[in-house]
Amino acid sequence: MGLFLKIKAGLKKTRRNMSDSLHRMLHSFTRIDEDLFEELEELLVMGDVGVSTAEHICDILRGKVKERGIKDPNAIFDLLRETVAEMLQGGEELHISTKPSVILVIGVNGVGKTTTIGKMAALLQKQGKKVILAAADTFRAAAIEQLQVWADRAGCDMVSQSEGSDPAAVVFDTISAAKSRGNDVIICDTAGRLHTKKNLMDELAKINRVIDRELPDADKEVLLVLDATTGQNGVNQAREFKNAAGITGIVLTKLDGTAKGGVVLAIKDVLDIPVKFVGVGEQLDDLQPFDADDFARALFERDPAEMEELEKEER
């Protein structure tokens, strides 16, 4: 399955929740007026886009409709796809040009952080990067063993110490190993943390100090893993982590299991944090680099088979 088809399949529930409803709603209008925009805004909110982002999108659409002299309500569909793609563009590329570069992966327990690291390692290895993992989640039982399983699947090295060890020491050892082995990318797992847990945030700060001291000129990404099924709660998490940990990007997991994929828009619009990757399944190659155009196209592509299936369910 190609990259676009994976994204499209992963967004099926969100597409049915939002864009199929939108398509039917637009067919019920004979002209573009404020009633249409009010219904559109409501549909966007129901798709977990968020109130402020839904309002922002509708304001942009009003401007485009006026500027282009658009009269047909059905033209709003393609206009919305265009607007969403424009809003999501910018910053989605990983900045890992130095050797080695560092990717620090953070997030609360249960969001798929460890599996995301394994899939990211596999993807980077496939791109020709030599990856090494730092098993710096020494707090959670079995975290090191789980990461080792994913390191084996991805075919990359991993550095670890015993459970309960100092995570910053693990990162230090991994940096030393990366320098001697010529690794391109270091991916650091960290303990699942909440921004309110001071000891864990202090631990993260210590890890960052080690990285900055040992690799002062290295490119560094701080990626927050979020579970897409949490919807707007994910936006709140991202806001708090942005303030506490200086995150540079989002990895949105479990997109295939939710109708709340519209949260991607809220994260970019409200917080100006780019989405770097999306998870659309359980397989090793189901973590995909985020592409704004593909995401918008997959979200709003009208699928006759899906529309027919939906109509049957509603009868």
Residue positions in the annotated binding site? Answer: 107-114, 189-193, 253-256
Q: Return binding residues for GTP.
A: 107-114, 189-193, 253-256
Return the C-alpha torsion angle 164, 170, 172, 177, nearest 10.
160
